[in-house]
Structure 1
């Protein structure tokens, strides 16, 4: 099946779980990985790739619509029996879903209050590390202990009600790192 175009997948052609394939999309992006799922009816393939995070316990998962794949090459057929699928941690999945939904609500709330795009970016950056973030008007509240006021620089971080200075220092470092990664100087006072 080397060089097969996605539209020429015949009605009896299937990819076995564990088969190593190389798929080239119509945008000239190559994906190489092991097939972990294939649905012939929808022409959908799921590939497992080595992790880009470096964590050996994780994998990158690519979902491909074969309608948008120009070429599929079988690099090696799987001759073993399909491995048993790992169980899912539903509690952890529900927690991640709740966190993502809260992040979307926070962004919608910030937009409706007129928070600047820069403020929203700082909020998102902090939220990646500390999920206990909310808005209080245009100020970011982190762990109910630290306020990050507009224009959202490290010197705009203050301890709320004289709380723990360690939390303040931690949030300041996160905000400093955000501005450093942006490569531009932090915004000037308004």
Structure 2
């Protein structure tokens, strides 16, 4: 069919096309009037995927437009979802995140204190106790977070925290 031109109004319309190569049917996915090419989208019922056929407009012998709604193959099959169950899981997830965040982010602490906490937490388990960093549940690093502010814990753990803290402080300078 010479002089064939498609418009935006033709998109997603169902058509049957007879070409020199055979018969094709599906929805008009897209077109390019300059390159004289159309793409037809058709469902593969066996796999629930979509097939795309590229057709040269010059090879079209006949087109028949059919009034057929487009079937969404990717829609949710089970629409009987339990909204209360989903809402409950969402609330539990938010609550768990809030609980974890309390241990990870200090309240009313400086950016430097938070950076120290994050660096210490990379190698040793840490959490916040108000504005003090608790390392390995036994050593406290109090404000202003210098090596002299490390207290508690066994002698070996205390020395280790001081060593790591001194390295962190040197990197932050």
Interval containing the TM-score (normalised by the shorter chain): 0.3 to 0.5
TM-score (norm: length of structure 2) = 0.41
TM-score (structure 1 length as normaliser)? 0.37
> Which protein has the larger Cα radius of gyration, Structure 1 or Structure 2?
2
